[in-house]
Every structure is written in structure tokens, then in C-alpha cells.
Amino acid sequence: MSRNFYILAATLLLFALVSAGMSMVPSSFQPGLPANGSLWRTVALFLLLFGLLSAFIGVMSNLFEQVDRHSEETRRTARRKRRRNDNQ
């Protein structure tokens, strides 16, 4: 699950870099595109924020998955120990 968030974050950050680069390009090279540099910077900022948020969600979900796996392994180990003690 966290891999999907990492891919989304990478994609959004790539588009943020492209948008930031478009704000540096003169308007004569952008026929038919918005020539306002502040619009490109605003889009880049929002894409950057959403990309960072997506990466944060991916990291947190990965951590919770690790905790879940660890607690499940602890329960299995405790169950095996109880069964051994009951059989003896």
C-alpha cells in the first residue's frame, strides 16, 4: 500500500519540478499556455505540498505495517510457547 503513495509522491514532485521550470521560461516559448509565472509557481507549490503529503502518508503507512507485522509475530511466538508449556 505504501508503494502506491511513494509512486504518487514521486509523480507529483516531478510535475512540481516541471511547473517550477515553466515559471522560469519566457512567455514567448509558451504559445497557448498560461504565461503568468506566478500561476506556474502556485501550481508548483501545490503539487509540491501534495507530493510531500503523499510521501508522508506512505512513510506512516509503512511504519504501521511494520508494527502490525511485528505484533503479529509476537502473538504467534507467545502462542507457540503456551502450546509447548501446555503439552509438557
pLDDT digits (tens, 9 = 90+) for 19-66: 999 888 777 766 766 667 788 899 999 999 999 999 999 999 999 999
Total domains in the chain come to: 1
Answer for the pair 58, 6: CB distance below 8 angstroms, yes or no: yes
Rounded CA separation 79/86 (Å): 11
Host domain of residue 39: 2-87
Amino acid at 60: M
Task: Cell numbers for 7, please give them.
Answer: 509512486
| CA dihedral of 10, 11, 17, 18, whole degrees rounded to 10 | 160
The whole model's pTM is what?
0.76
Name the residue among 14, 4, 22 with its Cα closest to residue 62. 4
